[in-house]
Structure 1
Amino acid sequence: MQRIVNRHQLDMPKLGLGTWPMVGEECTRAVVQALELGYRHIDTAAAYNNEDAVGQALAQSSVPREHVHVTSKVWWDRLSPADMRASFDNTLRALRSDYVDLFLIHWPTQDWDLARTIDTLVSFKEEGRARAIGVANFPLALLREVVEDMKAPLAAMQVEYHVALGQVKLLDFARRHDMALIAYSPLARNSVAQMPEIQRIAAKHDVPPTQIALKWLLDQQDVAAVPKAGGRANQLSNLQSFNLLLDDEDRETIAALPKDQRLVSPPFAPQWD
């Protein structure tokens, strides 16, 4: 299967390493280890307080920086142009890099000048310091405004997406507008391991339930996933999900699961579609 998502010149491995909530040496060790195992996609954010730890890992690793896709994000309270630029500069310093492969607005907010915020985001791409740009946690109506009305060249959106939360409308929008969809919390905060239907499919294939949930996502066109995994065994297991072959019965079982279990909706979240 294709292991790269290519949108807006964004060559992004479909399986990445999520780093939240790891910090410090724990995060550095996990990223170095993941790169040794073959990961080439690392997801971080200013709000995770671990960009410096990721930067340390990139410096320690024998894998050249240009061979690793790195995503980072600006927090919702830093979306004025000056604050965005300061946050972006801090991100690059922490990562010890003169560019980031993908830079996202982490969450939308209400008290903002959307046009100026998006113009600032686009400027990072125009300067070459962000190879690609995108957004996270934007509802469909806001995405339409940014992409269709403002013509922002977004390469990706990052949203919660897993076997228990459907994102059909956002995925359709992404495909129509040449965008990747990056699934965070792709294992539903490990609750997939307790789902009887996923357990039955896993037993049938003799693999952990997490591999079933991941492969369901990775099989989808233009979808990437960034599960957090600190230990070597979990990192390897996630990589091995590529070796699975789900059949029509498996996919039908997963399709029949309720798709309304949103796990991430903080007080500042937008009104979801």
Structure 2
Amino acid sequence: MPSNDIPQPGFGTSGHDRDACTEAVVTALETGYRHVDTAQMYDNEEAVGRALERADVDREDVFLATKVHPSNLAHDDVIETAEESLERLGVDAVDLLYVHWPTGAYDPEETLPAFDEVRDRGWARNVGVSNFTIELLEEALEILESPPIANQVELHPRLQQDDLVSFSREHDVQTVAYCPIAKAEVNEIDDLQEIADAHDATPVQIALAWHYERDGVVPIPKGSGEHIRENYDALEIDLSEDERERIDGLDRGERLVDPDEAAWNR
């Protein structure tokens, strides 16, 4: 798999744990997803690892991403806990290792060179960042020897982050969208329901189709049961220009994940 190829869509595992997590990831992989996203913070890397072993999909065909917990971002802790993540996942390397939040022990001059070292050791094929503002992303681009290939941020029709997405695109950084369906709140948006009716789809599928068509954006919806396939099937929806513009007009700058220590609140 090319190092800069992040498959569309990803499967998010935040909130999944134990056997339910394993079952969901196996279902996602056997549905067609080839990008799985986890994190030390989610406490489910072992469950994801079991899914990789169980699914009838070759490891080299799966783009696997995990994230280092904010409390583990001191230089030596990055290296130590990255190795522990590999052990839990049962793999020799991940395809992408993120800084989860630029908070806690995060110090760009200490943390980012540790990510370079993890990549140099072959434990991560690529590095990335998450919840970074334009300013923090600019700083990371200057410090990292390994070009960051992704910035994972909250992104959905009510929080479109055009400036951040455009900046990232200009610097060959993919925007990976978490909460891409706004924790299912897109179901309450009348415009999305009307567009969904025209496509014999759901508002969730329309929101995901909008993401899929947005240049430089890879959403990572989570799901269980039939929703896993429904989210994937949204790849088949073609929105008209008028429909995309209508969704573009839904931006309200509304965050659902907004901790006080986040970079945009400082």
Name which structure has the greater RCO, CA cutoff 8 Å, separation 6+: 1
CA distance in 1, matches of 2:142, 2:210: 29
Give the stretch that moved more between structures: 171-180 or 44-53.
171-180
The amino acid that maps onto 2:99 is I
Give the stretch that moved more between structures: 103-112 or 127-136.
103-112
CA separation of 1:85 and 1:203: change in aligned 2, threshold 3 A:
same
The amino acid that maps onto 2:166 is D
- Correspondence for 2:155 among 156, 161, 181: 161
Instruction: Tell me, yes or no, if structure 1 residue 187 matches structure 2 residue 188.
Output: no
Q: Once the 2 structures are TM-superposed, how far is the Cα of residue 184 of structure 1 from its aligned partner?
A: 0.3
- Correspondence for 2:41 among 34, 47, 66: 47
Instruction: Tell me, yes or no, if structure 1 residue 261 matches structure 2 residue 254.
Output: yes
Richer in helix (by share): 2
Structure 2 segments unaligned to the other structure (5+ residues): none
2:83 and 2:123 in contact (8 A); partners too: no
The amino acid that maps onto 2:64 is V
Q: Once the 2 structures are TM-superposed, how far is the Cα of residue 268 of structure 1 from its aligned partner?
A: 2.7
CA separation of 1:248 and 1:23: change in aligned 2, threshold 3 A:
same
| Equivalenced residues, count | 266
Specify the alignment match of 2:127 in structure 1.
Answer: 133
1:139 and 1:272 in contact (8 A); partners too: no
CA distance in 2, matches of 1:57, 1:144: 36
Instruction: Tell me, yes or no, if structure 1 residue 22 matches structure 2 residue 16.
Output: yes
SS at match of 2:264: coil
Specify the alignment match of 2:242 in structure 1.
Answer: 249
SS at match of 1:103: strand
SS at match of 1:157: strand
Specify the alignment match of 2:87 in structure 1.
Answer: 93
**1:221-263 deviation digits (Å, cap 9, x = unpaired):** 22101001121x1011111111111012211211111331111
1:122 and 1:153 in contact (8 A); partners too: no
CA distance in 2, matches of 1:149, 1:57: 35
CA distance in 2, matches of 1:193, 1:214: 12
Q: CA RMSD in A?
A: 1.6
CA separation of 1:90 and 1:201: change in aligned 2, threshold 3 A:
same
SS at match of 1:70: strand
2:38 and 2:66 in contact (8 A); partners too: yes
1:42 and 1:70 in contact (8 A); partners too: yes
- Correspondence for 2:62 among 65, 68, 80: 68
Specify the alignment match of 1:206 in structure 2.
Answer: 200
Percent of counterpart pairs with the same letter? 39
Structure 1 segments unaligned to the other structure (5+ residues): none
2:39 and 2:68 in contact (8 A); partners too: yes
TM-score by length of 2: 0.95
SS at match of 1:228: coil
SS at match of 1:266: coil
CA distance in 1, matches of 2:192, 2:122: 43
**1:64-84 deviation digits (Å, cap 9, x = unpaired):** 111111110001111101211
Q: Once the 2 structures are TM-superposed, how far is the Cα of residue 96 of structure 1 from its aligned partner?
A: 0.2
Q: Once the 2 structures are TM-superposed, how far is the Cα of residue 124 of structure 1 from its aligned partner?
A: 1.3
CA separation of 1:98 and 1:198: change in aligned 2, threshold 3 A:
same
Q: Once the 2 structures are TM-superposed, how far is the Cα of residue 140 of structure 1 from its aligned partner?
A: 1.2
The amino acid that maps onto 1:70 is L
Give the stretch that moved more between structures: 166-175 or 51-60.
166-175
SS at match of 1:13: coil
**1:137-181 deviation digits (Å, cap 9, x = unpaired):** 011111111114655511111000011102111111111111111
CA distance in 2, matches of 1:194, 1:62: 37
